[in-house]
Structure 1
């Protein structure tokens, strides 16, 4: 899995994963706190992500969703959803 090399890349991944959860395109098994961790990421007054509010689970989900988005399988899924 490729990790982001800049803060801007990381913030883009976090925002993409958060939108996936909000739009119902990312699902978690019952009992997991994955969606809560992504939705509880705080923003600073300048609308940047507060990096201290991101835990390991949120970071891994953001990187995984980016990996899926850039894979052939992920592109196929996004095309089926009309995006």
Structure 2
């Protein structure tokens, strides 16, 4: 997995995941902490993300969501014979 190397990259991933969650593009099974963690991320007065409010679940969800942004899930549904 490609991990962010700068604060700007990490904020981009968190904002990307939060936007997908708010727009209903990303959904979670009932009882999972993913959406709660992303929605609890706070912003500083200058508009930057308060990293003290980012827990491990929010970080993992943001990185995974961003990493999967260009995946073709249609290919994943096909078996080895192309069906």
TM-score by length of 1: 0.83
CA RMSD of aligned residues (A): 1.1
Quote the residue 1:39 is aligned against.
39
State the 1:70 CA deviation: 3.5
In 1: Cα distance, 2:70 partner to 2:27 partner? 18
Q: Which runs of 5+ in 1 are unaligned?
A: 75-83
Quote the residue 2:28 is aligned against.
28
Aligned pairs, how many? 73
Which of structure 1's runs of 4+ aligned residues deviate more than 4 A? none
State the 1:29 CA deviation: 0.9
Q: What are the Cα deviations for residues 27-51 of structure 1, in whole angstroms up to 9, with x where unaligned?
A: 1111112111101100000000000
TM-score by length of 2: 0.83
Quote the residue 1:81 is aligned against.
none
Q: Which runs of 5+ in 2 are unaligned?
A: 74-83
In 1: Cα distance, 2:5 partner to 2:17 partner? 17
In 1: Cα distance, 2:67 partner to 2:33 partner? 21
Higher fraction of helix: 1
In 1: Cα distance, 2:51 partner to 2:3 partner? 15
- Structure with higher Rg: it is 2
